[in-house]
């Protein structure tokens, strides 16, 4: 009986670990502009980057990867974005492979730091959703939360009887009973 309890505890703890790990592994690395990268858009496509951003769903802790040659990327304020100019950006990089973590929900504004590029459309607004707004991974947090609550009760039931487990499970997973 003790070895069966140990096996069950191991299986449930493994399940709990996998379920909670899915919360950590939910962030994504987005390649800005996909295969186009971070370049001055074609003359008739000045909304290219904002169109690209609107086709994606960004969450806190996702990252944006800007790939470019002989250019730069600046994280700026809304006013600086509208003016296509910043003397004191929030961040600046000209490495050719810039990764920026989206550290909070809300709007982020990016422009090229190369002269004239922003005015020609090399700029982008990214809207970062909070976890409550997240539609790409619905259900993960509730299942992990339920498992983390149920697991200690399950361990107690291994040592204190199946009745505790049955009560705990019926709270989270009610079983409807058909009328006779």
Cα-based distances in Å from 165 to 40, 119, 162: 61, 64, 5
d(CA 148, CA 20): 8
pLDDT of residue 33: 96
pLDDT of residue 27: 86
pLDDT tens-digit profile of 58-93?
A: 999 999 999 999 999 999 999 999 999 999 999 999
pLDDT of residue 26: 74
Contact 150, 70 (CB under 8 A): no
The segments of the chain whose pLDDT lies below 70 read 1-25, 133-180
d(CA 167, CA 144): 19
pTM above 0.85, yes or no: no
């Amino acid at each position: 009986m003790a070895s069966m309890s140990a096996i069950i505890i191991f299986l449930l703890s493994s399940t709990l670990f996998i379920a909670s790990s899915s919360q950590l592994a939910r962030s994504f690395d987005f390649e800005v502009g996909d295969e186009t990268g971070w370049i001055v858009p074609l003359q008739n496509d000045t909304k290219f980057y904002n169109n690209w951003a609107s086709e994606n769903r960004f969450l806190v802790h996702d990252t944006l990867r800007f790939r470019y040659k002989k250019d730069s990327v600046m994280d700026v304020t809304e006013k600086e974005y509208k003016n296509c100019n910043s003397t004191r950006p929030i961040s600046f990089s000209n490495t050719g492979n810039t990764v920026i973590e989206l550290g909070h929900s809300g709007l982020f504004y990016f422009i090229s730091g190369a002269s004239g590029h922003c005015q020609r459309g090399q700029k982008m607004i990214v809207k970062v959703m909070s976890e409550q707004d997240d539609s790409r991974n619905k259900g993960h947090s509730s299942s992990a939360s339920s498992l983390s609550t149920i697991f200690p009760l399950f361990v107690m039931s291994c040592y204190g009887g199946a009745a505790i487990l049955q009560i705990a499970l019926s709270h989270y997973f009610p079983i409807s009973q058909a009328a006779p």
